Structure 1
Amino acid sequence: MNSASPPEVTRAPGAMVGRRHRYLQQRRFALLAASPAFMVLALLSIPPTVGALVLSLRNMSLERPTSHWVGFANFVRMWGDRRLWNALEITLLWELITVAGTMLVAVLAGIALYERVRGRARDALSVAFLLPILLPRISAGLIWRFMYSPLMGIMNYPMSLLGMRPVAFLSEPHVALYAVAAVDVWQWGLFFAVIVLKSLQTLPRSPIEAAYLDHASVWQIHWFISLPALRGTIITMLFVKGVESLRSFDLIYTMTAGGPGVATETLDLYAYQVGIGISGRLSYAAAMSVLLTIVTTIIFSIVWKRTRRWS
């Protein structure tokens, strides 16, 4: 009996090989199922990207029908463009405000719904939280532009009751960017709050109930138990919002068009003004777009690797 090997030991190598084979089959099936979508994305994204790169190496403009090769002259010119550096600074500030604000609103509102609201009221509020994201960005921008109006906007109504002068939210250089960012956070923060709520509902209750028995507070339970369990979901939302915040041209253009002055002019809005709106320098605008693509790809790749280790 002592010389006989346990059944588990004799079957272990075969079981490992079987699990490896099933994993490779699942991976092969996943790649095969996703390949049509990847092909469509490649056909839609690669030609415009190559076209923008070629255009950035020329000197094409709307004034001249012909162009010639100038190499990296457009990229060199960007180093001395003070307005471009201001647009880059506004872009980074916009990214920080909208991403951080969205995640803060999502976590706080999601936990509040989970803890304070029950039954049909929770479902009704979840549907209400989804409504802002269903609005087109231009429609949301126009609505909030009227709401921010110093004369008839509802945002100034409490100040009129207190006898204070109205605030020109979209005309004050130090306020305009935050006012527009609040609209972005309103749309995406409430949408992500529903995702946080539904993710919390999938967690096992036993660790949370044990923490309640140990007299932990609600926020301690979620900070040390629930949110660490949702790291994958939170990281995914963080990256989705980070990429989406770089595509806020329509909202900013509708509400301020980059003003007052250049207080809300992000890099994509400045590229539009240079390429189409004012100057007509298509190649210079293409160079800005290529630079923004390269920088964001590098930054998000580094952050993605680090957050994957953390998660």
Structure 2
Amino acid sequence: MKPSTRWTPSSPAPCPAFAGKMTASVPQKDDAPAPLEKVQARAAFWFLLPAYSLYVLFVLLPALATIVFTFLYLDRYTWTAEFVGFDNILYVLADGRFWTSFRNTFYFVFLAAIGNVGLGLVFAAVLDRALPKAMLYILRLAFFLPVLVSTALVSLVWQFIYSSDLGVLNYYITSIGLPRIGWLSDERVAMISVVIMDVWKHFGFFMIILLAALQSIPREITEAAEMDGSGPLATFFFIKIPMIAPVILFCVTYATIGGLQMFESVRILTSGGPGDATTSMVMYMYEQAFSSQDIGAGSAAALVLLITIVIVTLVQLKLGTRAVDQ
């Protein structure tokens, strides 16, 4: 019988040339295609690189520079720096205007957080009722539209509304025989005017979030409560509110952080006035850094504001989480 000449892995190669071809055809480890995860990670890196670069350039580096400038005295004429330790922080903490701005900021935060979250919850509860889809879409768009408009533009519009001479509010007030109100020039009502504008602009954002939370509650739960004799108000306060408590906590925390950073509306409407009635912590920081040209004091005020935001947020989350768990 003629012997078989077929090559098998257990037998030697028939000839050196054939063996070389077989060796060359085996894919090497270095030539193996990269896993799909590595390709996707590499593509994601290049897509995110511009965003990361902008974040580092306009957020991270200025934040680090602020911390460094807090401990320096910067001469704006000679562009020289001198290490002064905690002098800038002590100067800010000893300044009466800083504590006025501190008090104004928390007064604004208290009113704005209650107004934004409270009004958002009320309108979310109204829209959660059985409404035609077309009407629901129109109302949601109408209430959310101010959120999309820039704060600067909204502030200019409300500045005209609040105008003592040409304002719409004073026009209707005087038309019924009441005296004019200095919405932005009276220390007693200036901050209230800023809060009203802020609530008008931002409550739609919280309304959308709370409406989504209410609509995520299973209908079986509310229907079971109604079958047990629970009325609409009892169902809302004792069933729906506890179920969306984590979302409410998020809204309150978000509104608080935003209120602590208020600047644009105050800068355009009142410039911190009348007097210091509406001067916020960010407004004080701006005045120190750019009006008084004291970069060190402005940086120290910014650092104090950052620490304040962190402390308030942690306290809110701690107390809020405990209340939600109970």
C-alpha RMSD of the superposition: 2.2
1:154, distance to aligned residue in structure 2 (A):
1.8
Confirm or deny that 1:51 pairs with 2:65.
yes
Worse overlay, 98-107 or 42-51: 42-51
The structure where helix makes up a greater share of residues is 1
C-alpha contact (below 8 Å) 1:61/1:280 kept by paired residues? no
1:171, distance to aligned residue in structure 2 (A):
0.6
Cα distance per residue 1:105-143 (max 9 Å; x no partner): 011111122237433111100011111001100000000
Aligned equivalents of 1:106 and 1:220: distance in 2?
A: 19
Amino acid at match of 1:268: V
1:221 corresponds, among 211, 223, 235, to 235
Residue in structure 1 matched with residue 115 of structure 2 by the alignment? 101
Confirm or deny that 1:288 pairs with 2:304.
no
Residue in structure 2 matched with residue 186 of structure 1 by the alignment? 200
Residue in structure 2 matched with residue 5 of structure 1 by the alignment? none
Worse overlay, 57-66 or 98-107: 57-66
Aligned equivalents of 1:165 and 1:200: distance in 2?
A: 43
C-alpha contact (below 8 Å) 2:106/2:260 kept by paired residues? no
Aligned equivalents of 1:89 and 1:48: distance in 2?
A: 26
Matches within 5 A, 1:107-256: 107-115=121-129, 117-256=131-270
1:193, distance to aligned residue in structure 2 (A):
1.2
1:242, distance to aligned residue in structure 2 (A):
1.7
Worse overlay, 45-54 or 130-139: 45-54
1:152, distance to aligned residue in structure 2 (A):
2.2
Q: 1:219 to 1:63 in 2, by over 3 A?
A: farther
Aligned equivalents of 1:209 and 1:71: distance in 2?
A: 64
Q: 1:310 to 1:265 in 2, by over 3 A?
A: same
1:298, distance to aligned residue in structure 2 (A):
2.1
Aligned equivalents of 1:182 and 1:117: distance in 2?
A: 28
Aligned equivalents of 1:248 and 1:176: distance in 2?
A: 15
1:303, distance to aligned residue in structure 2 (A):
2.2
C-alpha contact (below 8 Å) 1:63/1:280 kept by paired residues? no
C-alpha contact (below 8 Å) 2:253/2:316 kept by paired residues? no
Aligned equivalents of 2:75 and 2:174: distance in 1?
A: 50
Residue in structure 1 matched with residue 28 of structure 2 by the alignment? none
The structure that has the greater radius of gyration is 2
Cα distance per residue 1:186-240 (max 9 Å; x no partner): 1111221122223222211122122223343322211111111112221222222
Runs (4+) of structure 1 moved beyond 4 Å?
36-42
Residue in structure 1 matched with residue 282 of structure 2 by the alignment? 268
Normalised by the length of structure 2, the TM-score is 0.79
Aligned equivalents of 2:237 and 2:223: distance in 1?
A: 15
Aligned equivalents of 1:199 and 1:165: distance in 2?
A: 44
Normalised by the length of structure 1, the TM-score is 0.82
1:39, distance to aligned residue in structure 2 (A):
6.2
5+ residue gaps, structure 1 = 1-32
Aligned equivalents of 1:157 and 1:122: distance in 2?
A: 33
Aligned residues: percent identity? 26
5+ residue gaps, structure 2 = 1-43
Aligned equivalents of 1:40 and 1:230: distance in 2?
A: 37
